[in-house]
Structure 1
Amino acid sequence: MAAEPAQIEALLRAALSPSSIEVRDDSALHAGHAGAASGGGHYHVTIVSAQFAGSTRVARHRMVYDALRDLFPAQIHALAVTALTDQELESRETSRDSSSNSQT
């Protein structure tokens, strides 16, 4: 049985105190995939947390996977992670805004 996005969000909130989090269930995009037969879902998490400061991308992903450890593999088959600090998110948004302003 696949995890509920709210369950994933709750576990990540408890472990990483994010300032922002989005959990997207992409399971429907993988219907018929061999891994989907086990019942585990496919998810994408975008999470912004001060706890990621000074950590490598791999370390950030480990933090997320550790927080969700009990859901693998029965409830989560695949997980894509975008893990940022507040400053990195702000920098991305500023870059995006300046790119769209220069194109208008």
Structure 2
Amino acid sequence: MDEIRQRLAVLAPVKVELIDDSALHAGHAGARSGGGHYRLSIVSAAFAGKNTVSRHRMIYDALGDMMRKEIHALAIQAETPEDL
């Protein structure tokens, strides 16, 4: 999870809450392949003026190849400080 946080740092978040839900998916195909299941709540001014799809793309871009290997599923809540 540290690497996920490090990669998300490019978005200059003011808040990151990352929860590993992998244990809840034991036996699931993604769990067998080694990819984790995570919930992410992130607040960043970088999301200003962006719609939900654009915000998610920014996160996927920051995580890069982790989305194909280490991360099987990622539930995202991405907000700006003004959204709070």
The TM-score normalised by the length of structure 2 is 0.95
What's 2:73 paired with?
78
Larger Rg: 1
Q: Does 1:10 pair with 2:1?
A: no
- Given that 1:23 and 1:43 are in contact with CA atoms closer than 8 Å, whether structure 2 keeps it comes out as yes
- Write 1 or 2 for the structure with the bigger share of helix: 1
C-alpha distance in 2 between matches for 1:26 and 1:88:
25
The CA RMSD measured in Å over matched residues stands at 0.8
Which AA in structure 2 matches 1:8? Answer: I
Q: Which runs of 4+ in 1 moved over 4 A?
A: none
What's 2:42 paired with?
47
Q: Percent identity, aligned pairs only?
A: 57
Which AA in structure 2 matches 1:10? Answer: Q
1:72 deviates by 2.1
Equivalent pairs counted in the alignment come to 84
Which AA in structure 2 matches 1:42? Answer: H
Matches within 5 A, 1:27-46: 27-46=22-41
Structure 1: tracts of 5 or more residues without a match: 90-104
- Given that 1:9 and 1:22 are in contact with CA atoms closer than 8 Å, whether structure 2 keeps it comes out as no
C-alpha distance in 2 between matches for 1:21 and 1:6:
12
Q: Does 1:21 pair with 2:16?
A: yes
Which AA in structure 2 matches 1:51? Answer: A
What SS is found at the alignment partner of 2:38? strand
C-alpha distance in 1 between matches for 2:19 and 2:65:
19
1:57 deviates by 0.3
Higher relative contact order (CA closer than 8 Å, sequence separation 6+): 2
